[in-house]
Structure 1
Amino acid sequence: MSDTMDLSRTDDAKLPSARIGATAPDFVARTTEGSVQLSGYRGRWLVFFSHPADFTPVCTSEFIAFQKQIERFNDLECDLLGLSVDSLYAHLAWVKDIEARFDVRISFPIIEDISMSIGRAYGMIHDESDSTASVRSVFFIDPQGVIRAMVHYPLAVGRSVGEILRVLAALQTSDTDNVSTPEGWMPGDRPVLSAPSNMHEADARSAGDGAAWYYTPRGVDQ
């Protein structure tokens, strides 16, 4: 049986829900760049994010910022995919208006989610909400289709594209080098060794250069 969501369903309670460490719920949807299937992004990272509504100030600022940084996302082998409950035609009109007014062409797909099936499956629309507007959610999905991180912002607070890029780089560094990234870590900074899993590892780190055995920056020779 396919795990791809049927967007014609109205029984939202039975839809899969998104969580860190789980495979991202699959779906097929219409977008400004044609039909897409989430699992079609396998093999690359994906930043999948929702916005409350088209033709709104904060969302416009975010989309312009995402587009201006699209080469940095490409350098990190990551695609962008947006979503709101607005119709495809509203998305198209908004994209054209952004280009006309701000000279920025939004090149990544924007999903229409009129039925709210995808938004509810991903927790973008809260069941207790008195509005159908999706909150500002961001899902970091790895090349295997697993959700690795997610962040939710309220409607009135814009996201930092720089922070989204930082988290993406941190996830990739952690995977590649088998390390963790401390508070405020930026690409080029020293990561830290993951927490020791036994006394032997803890003792070995205690015999080092005085660094705390539970907080050990990775040295150049490690």
Structure 2
Amino acid sequence: MQKMVLNLGDKFPNFIVDTTIGQIDFHEWAGDSWVILFSHPADFTPVCTTELAAVARLVPEFTKRNVKPIALSCDSVESHKKWIDDIKAYGKLNGFDYPIIDDEKRELAVKLNMLDKDEIGAAGLPLTCRAVFIIDPHKKLRLSILYPATTGRNFAEILRTIDSMQLTDRKRVATPADWVQGQECMVQPNVPEEELASLFPGDVTNVELPSGKMYLRKTTF
């Protein structure tokens, strides 16, 4: 498979793969949902086990946000299914409600540029890095993060970014540093003063700054 360089806003490629829930056409499986696709170096590895357990616990939170999680690991479906028993035991889980993609040949990892050249596995091949792709219902790539293989992900941060993107799709705002749902947002700079009352009735605060420029305008939802 040819390697792709994906930029934010690009159409996320479709693919047909085997998973722990059977063969899927990625775009058909995604449907009208958002998707978080996250990759893993290998089955039966310590950090990956903690991550997949964390996502399994967060499935209700993803569902609330109309997000479908799907994992990728460079091993077979048969291996994934055995690994799921360990994940459930580690996370004290009753179920495991999202699929894991079979990428034993690393074809999808290569196509999506997920390999970590600094981490080499037992077979002498580069390990898959901890990539995170968030894809919206229009199949556009909205967020991409690459963690090194040795660093586990913060899924609370990933939920936070989804909250931000979904809010800013609906409203003409941006979210500041460390924002979480329910906190103040920033009115986008391109919103004219004359539209504030209709877009944000009675709820815009101008922050006074030494420059005298009125670009830092706060609102809440």
Do Structure 1 and Structure 2 share a fold, with TM-score over 0.5?
Answer: yes
Residue equivalent to 2:98: 108
Q: Does 1:176 align with 2:165?
A: no
CA contact (8 A) 1:22 1:147 kept: yes
Cα 1:116/1:188, change in 2 over 3 Å: same
Residue equivalent to 1:52: 41
CA contact (8 A) 1:83 1:110 kept: yes
Which runs of 5 or more structure 2 residues have no equivalent in the other structure?
197-204
Aligned length: 203
- Equivalences for residues 1-222 of structure 1 within 5 A: 12=1, 14-40=2-28, 41-100=30-89, 102-104=91-93, 105-126=95-116, 130=120, 131-196=125-190, 201=192, 209-211=206-208, 212-218=213-219
1:101 offset after TM fit, Å? 5.1
Cα 1:152/1:93, change in 2 over 3 Å: same
**What do the CA deviations read for 1:42-83 (whole angstroms, capped 9, x no partner)?**
311100100111111111111111011110000001000000
Whole-Å separation in 1 of the counterparts to 2:207 and 2:71: 47
CA contact (8 A) 1:125 1:133 kept: yes
Cα 1:49/1:186, change in 2 over 3 Å: same
Moved more, 14-23 or 63-72: 14-23
Cα 1:53/1:120, change in 2 over 3 Å: same
Q: Which has the higher strand share?
A: 2
CA RMSD of the aligned region, Å?
A: 2.4
CA contact (8 A) 1:44 1:143 kept: yes
Q: Please, what TM-score do these two structures have when normalized by structure 1?
A: 0.83
Q: Please, what TM-score do these two structures have when normalized by structure 2?
A: 0.83
Identity of aligned residues (%): 29
Cα 1:31/1:219, change in 2 over 3 Å: closer
Opposite residue 156 of structure 1, the aligned amino acid is: T
Whole-Å separation in 2 of the counterparts to 1:50 and 1:142: 18
1:97 offset after TM fit, Å? 2.7
Whole-Å separation in 2 of the counterparts to 1:190 and 1:62: 30
Whole-Å separation in 2 of the counterparts to 1:15 and 1:153: 19
Whole-Å separation in 1 of the counterparts to 2:34 and 2:216: 29
Whole-Å separation in 1 of the counterparts to 2:15 and 2:127: 20
Cα 1:15/1:136, change in 2 over 3 Å: closer
